[in-house]
């Protein structure tokens, strides 16, 4: 099992320092309204074709502009690269409600930085773009994401996107997603992900009250050829609860 070392904590300390500096520098004016803070947790079980399955517990908190997530990858094989995956995001909104996001995630022997935006366009359309540098000790590569969402009837939406990842010789993915939701924000979400490689990914997720269930199938894992199925069970609850 790999424990966090002093050198592996440097990106986390840097990200926390930057986050605190940004928050301290913000002017003390009324900002945009955010949904109620949410505390959530998931347990994801990855079933691989080589039988080295992965246990993946996740805890996250979303409060206003701040998102904090703690995740741990725990493989069944004792000699595998188990590791801690902390993640931080800071989001801002402009007067139109468009959002801007800067984030960092610590991964095995690398850091992933995420810079994205969601722009409210004409009608019910939202445009998305993201640029994610992945930084190793001796090199840097970048993932580029873009797409559009169409919203109708509150939380219902359909989306189409494209992802270009340079790892493993480069791969283009084209996620297609639709969500059917109620005013209570219970929902059913279906996803198809064709790629320029041999794989066709798919996923089905549902949220009912505080419960979240999902299953996902694809033929790529961390840009190897390991087929996998991922089963997810989770929860979400307001925390802290706002007084009426």
What are the extents of the domains in the chain?
6-25+36-237
Report pTM: 0.84
Q: Which residues of the chain have pLDDT under 70?
A: 1-32, 168, 223-224, 243-244
Mean pLDDT of the chain: 87
Q: What is the pLDDT of residues 185-238, one digit of tens each?
A: 899 999 999 999 878 999 999 999 999 999 999 887 776 678 899 999 999 999
| Strand, coil or helix: 238 | strand
Place of tokens 């089963």: 231
Q: Class for domain 6-25+36-237, per CATH?
A: mainly beta
Cβ-contact 2, 83 below 8 angstroms = yes
Exposed e or buried b for every residue in 209-237, given b needs 16+ CB within 10 A? eeebebebbbbbbeeeeeebebebebebe
Would you state the pLDDT for residue 22? 45
Please give the structure tokens belonging to residue 30.
């009324």
């Amino acid at each position: 099992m790999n424990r966090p070392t002093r050198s592996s904590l440097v990106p986390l300390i840097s990200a926390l320092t930057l986050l605190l500096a940004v928050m301290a520098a913000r002017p003390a004016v009324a900002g945009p309204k955010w949904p109620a803070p949410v505390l959530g947790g998931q347990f994801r079980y990855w079933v691989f074709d080589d039988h080295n399955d992965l246990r993946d517990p996740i805890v996250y908190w979303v409060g206003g502009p701040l998102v904090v997530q703690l995740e741990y990858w725990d493989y069944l094989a004792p000699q595998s690269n188990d590791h801690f995956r902390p993640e931080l995001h800071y989001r801002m909104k402009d007067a139109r409600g468009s959002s801007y996001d800067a984030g960092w995630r610590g991964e095995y022997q690398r850091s992933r930085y995420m810079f994205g935006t969601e722009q409210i366009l004409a009608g019910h359309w939202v445009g998305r773009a993201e640029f994610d540098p992945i930084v190793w000790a001796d090199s840097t590569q970048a993932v580029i994401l873009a797409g559009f969402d169409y919203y109708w009837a509150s939380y219902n939406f359909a989306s189409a996107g494209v992802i270009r990842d340079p790892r493993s010789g480069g791969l283009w993915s084209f996620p297609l997603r639709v969500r059917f939701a109620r005013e209570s924000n219970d929902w059913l979400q279906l996803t198809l992900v064709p790629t320029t490689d041999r794989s066709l990914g798919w996923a089905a997720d549902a949220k009912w009250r505080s419960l979240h269930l999902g299953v996902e199938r694809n033929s790529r894992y961390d840009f190897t050829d390991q087929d996998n199925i991922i089963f997810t069970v989770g929860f979400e609850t307001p925390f802290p609860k706002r007084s009426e």
